[in-house]
Homo-oligomer: A and B are copies of this chain.
Amino acid sequence: MSRYPAVPEGIAFGGDYNPEQWPAEVQEEDVRLMREAGVTLVSLGVFSWVQTEPREGVYEFGWLDAIVDRLHDAGISVNLGTPTAAPPAWFSRAYPDAFPVTREGVRVGAGGRQHACSSHPAFRAASARLAERLAERYGDHPAVVMWHVHNEYGAPLGECYCAASTAAWRLWLRRRHEDLDALNAAWGTAFWGQRYGDWEEIDAPRWSHTVVNPAQRLDYARFASEEHLSHYRLQRDILRRTGKPVTTNFAGTVNCKSMDLWRWAPELDVIANDHYLNGEQPDNHIWLSMSADLSRSLAGGEPWMLMEHSTGAISWQARGIAKRPGEMRRNSLAHVARGSDSVLFFQWRASRSGAEKWHSAMLPHGGTGTRIWQDVVALGADVRRLAPVRGGRVTAEVAVAWDWESYWALELEWRPTGDLAFRERVDAFYEALWREHVTVDFVHPSADVSAYKVVVLPSSYLLTEGSAKNLQRYVEGGGHLLVSYFSGVVDEHDTVHEGPYPGALRELLGLSVEEFHPLREHETVTLTGGGTGRVWSERVHLVGARAEQHFADGPDAGHPAYTSHDFGAGTARYLAAGLTPAGLRPLLGALLDRAGVSRPRDLPENLELVRRGAHTFLINHGPAPATVTGLSGTDLLTGAPFTGDVPPGGVAVVAPTQE
């Protein structure tokens, strides 16, 4: 099975297309304008269940046949969706107990999307039937180059607490724990007298007036991710019979907390990501890069697809901040720089009705007279020019650990402080590395990391013995590991590793932590190296490691704050403080130098430089022109020799001259 869709040459360009909103004459104009803009791929049918199956078991494909043929005639390929994220009104009426239920017992209503439970038998049966019909009818159509299952699993429906979910949960627990004694041990049910004597006694971790067993909640988070994955696989297996690649669009790799994408990734023929810029966040392009890097990492370094992003304002954000001129282009090309072989948008034409009519589109309400349309057409041309980039690989020398299970566990209730947040730490490290012009991969802590010069482990609260051993082997083999505070503390069941903290990493780090000293709200600590830390302080005792920096103030003043421990051929470092990105930079800079990580020097901080295959992407996010020395070749976007200058807000993609 190919891991890559049979899209026509180059980088795919296009977006979600929902023609069922428009009369035939508009559809005709659509296809004409798509050609004008250079569209090569559209996602079709993502929400068209009721159009395809207007009554239970009655199918209408004529409208879809027509548009697929029309697109094909225009040379535009189709990524065909299964519309299970949009259960029709007839389905909800026939199976009212398929509505999802919240932890507090509120039944989700219709009128939105994802209002059917992935565990419900009727929903599963209907989903399989739809996939079969679509595979049968379009499996051989030359326009259809790939399949798009469901839409954004996990957003908004993560955990469901309906009766069908509870029944599925009990079955899942039997598979996971095999016998009740194992479950009782894993969940620590001896505390608060929660021991189970029968599988049927186990309920979903519903809302309680106090905290609910954290291991039970952690398992429920796993279950929820896997139930959706199982619903995906049900369709995927049917669609794969057509020989065409199958994917589903992730609801933002870095934003979709509810799905464990490391478990999803191997089940997709190509990784597809939806990325929506946080319009109001300063320097939001940094987290765009992070999203792209995580997408590429999930793809195992292979090219992936940017399945949705926006041309401008995003209506579901608190404020729909429009993109400034040039911003859409920089955003799109930054995804390509970091491994995407597509630039796709939600959606082709702005809706006149419905929930997302204020979401920007390739073709705005204002039509072809708008700047957005002109920018889309220009971007189409740019994307065409980037065809040589297709398939190129991005290589990173630094890896950052990312583990959804630890993310979930860390953010359950009653932790040492409510200020602990997985993304806060990952973001801080990522931002510091980004500003140092270092491209990173994300890894699961159990992955083979031997190829990286530096591995960073931020907030890896949950760490299995196996992962700890993996990291130990990495350092023994010469690696440079940097561990952030409150990592390696509990095992996969949220059970504290034995002995002093951090149980799983104590030996590797050459230290123990006696007591955590979370900071008060707004309280900070200073390190002897000058950095400022938030949220955390703790009492570190050296057992082999040496202190690089100490706390200069706060509850642990005078005690180690940053340590290093030579271990085998490598070094394991530990940072006991929540340094800000600015505080992290000198520390990381020294570590990168020590580990021999190559990185450009003397670049303006806002100039993003990424190498993909033989090509160098230069994206100037700053307001001043930027000059890059020592890089020559042809700028693919202009066709002219690269002069070394990147204008404010501009992009260059430099190809070696021979190409």
Contact = CB atoms under 8 A, between A and B. Distances in A.
Interface of A: 18, 20-21, 47-51, 54-55, 83, 86, 88-90, 92-93, 100, 102-115, 156-157, 187-198, 200-217, 280, 312-313, 315-316, 318-322, 324, 350-359, 364-367, 369-372, 413-419, 493-496, 498-501, 512-521, 539, 555
A157 B209 contact: yes
Given A83-B193, A104-B106, A112-B213, 14 more contacts: A21-B188, A50-B197, A86-B193, A112-B209, A189-B354, A190-B353, A192-B356, A215-B354, A319-B417, A321-B520, A359-B414, A366-B501, A367-B499, A370-B515
A494 B206 CA distance: 37
Contacts of A415: 315, 320, 358
A104 B108 CA distance: 8
Given A414-B316, A493-B353, A496-B365, A209 B100 contact: yes
A520 B280 contact: yes
Contact of A210 (B102, B114, B514): B114
Q: Specify which of A18, A51, A193, A198 lies most central, judged by the most chain B CB atoms within 10 Å of its CB.
A: A193
Nearest to A104: B106
A562 B286 CA distance: 37
Nearest to A86: B193
Contacts of A111: 194, 203, 205-206, 208, 212-213, 216-217
A359 to B, nearest CB: 8
Q: Can you tell how many copies of this chain the complex includes?
A: 3
Given A208-B112, A216-B111, A195 B518 contact: no
A514 B366 contact: yes
Contacts of A206: 107-111
Contact of A353 (B93, B187, B413, B501): B187
Given A156-B209, A358-B415, A495 B320 contact: no
Contact of A500 (B198, B216, B366): B366
A544 to B, nearest CB: 16
Contacts of A372: 515
Contacts of A114: 209-210
Nearest to A111: B212
Contact of A192 (B216, B355, B500, B516): B355
27 contacts: A18-B190, A47-B193, A83-B193, A86-B194, A89-B194, A89-B201, A89-B202, A105-B106, A112-B211, A115-B208, A156-B209, A189-B354, A190-B354, A191-B353, A192-B356, A214-B355, A316-B413, A318-B521, A319-B419, A322-B518, A352-B498, A357-B496, A365-B499, A366-B500, A366-B512, A366-B513, A367-B500
Closest 3 CB pairs of A and B: A188-B353, A109-B206, A191-B354
A370 B365 CA distance: 64
Please classify the interface of chain A as helix (H, G, I), strand (E, B), loop, or mixed, using the class held by over half of its residues: loop
A198 B55 CA distance: 10
A88 to B, nearest CB: 6
B319 A371 contact: no
Contacts of A93: 198, 200-201
Contacts of A318: 417-418, 521
Nearest to A315: B414
Nearest to A365: B496
Nearest to A202: B89
A192 to B, nearest CB: 5
Given A208-B111, A214-B354, A351-B188, A514 B370 contact: yes
A197 B92 contact: no
Contact of A92 (B190, B201, B493): B201
A174 B413 CA distance: 42
Contacts of A200: 93
A26 to B, nearest CB: 11
A536 to B, nearest CB: 10
A315 B205 contact: no
A167 to B, nearest CB: 14
Given A188-B353, A194-B86, A514-B370, A211 B109 contact: no
A58 to B, nearest CB: 10
A398 to B, nearest CB: 31
B208 A108 contact: yes
A55 B104 CA distance: 28
A409 to B, nearest CB: 12
A418 B318 CA distance: 5
Contacts of A196: 89
Nearest to A200: B93
